[in-house]
């Protein structure tokens, strides 16, 4: 989809340098994907401590007890 945007050139240049991405389009796509990813992580954090998982991590990870 084509969209016309009025973006600060310095901001776009800085984003391209920081991300080592060579095209403006790819930088904007990456920024949007990161925004969405961070939002989803934030939503998942609301469940921290609220979900009771009865999991034995040692057995899941294949560890032997050193008792």
pLDDT tens profile 11-52: 999 999 999 999 999 999 999 999 999 999 999 988 888 877
Residue 1 included in any domain: no
Residue 54 included in any domain: yes
3-state secondary structure the chain: CCCCCCCCHHHHHHHHHHHCCCCHHHHHHHHHHHHHHHHHHHHHHCCCCCCCCCCCHHHHCCCCCCC
Average pLDDT over residues 53-57: 78
The model's pTM is: 0.68
Q: pLDDT-based confidence at 61, cuts 50/70/90?
A: confident
- Please tell me the total count of domains within the chain: 1
Given a cut of 90, whether residue 57 has pLDDT beyond it is no
Name the residue range of residue 39's domain: 9-60
Residue 65 included in any domain: no
């Amino acid at each position: 989809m084509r969209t016309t945007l009025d973006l600060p050139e310095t901001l776009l240049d800085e984003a391209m340098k920081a991300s080592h991405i060579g095209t403006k389009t790819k930088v904007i796509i990456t920024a949007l994907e990161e925004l969405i990813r961070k939002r989803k992580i934030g939503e998942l954090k609301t469940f921290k401590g609220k979900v009771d998982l009865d999991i034995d991590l040692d057995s899941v990870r294949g560890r032997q007890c050193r008792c």
